[in-house]
Amino acid sequence: MILTAVYNWHLHNRIWCYNCSPCINGSSWFRLLASLLIFVVGLIFIVLEAIPSISPPENMNPEGISIGIQDENIV
């Protein structure tokens, strides 16, 4: 009950986001940094997908997957 009253007081006086805790709103630095990081990781992923010399491992290719009794002998 006391915490609810304090929380409501903060909201009423509009100091909750400014003084008591960091707030993620419209143009905060945290939101900008997070979106920039996601954008850069996406660009790196697109560039790595476009480079033909980088390919997935053989066990991820459909022709590299074999199901049989002799799989144990390969190891």
The pLDDT of residue 31 is 87
Q: Which two tokens stand for residue 73?
A: 């002998």
Residue-wise pLDDT for 7-60, tens only, equals 555 555 554 455 455 555 566 888 889 999 999 999 999 998 888 787 777 777
pLDDT confidence bin for 68, thresholds 50/70/90:
low
- Tell me the C-alpha distance between 42 and 48, whole Å: 10
The residues spanned by each domain of the chain are: 2-56
Name the residue type at position 11: L
- Tell me the C-alpha distance between 32 and 26, whole Å: 9
Looking at per-residue pLDDT, the higher value among 6 and 32 belongs to: 32
Q: Which two tokens stand for residue 52?
A: 């033909």
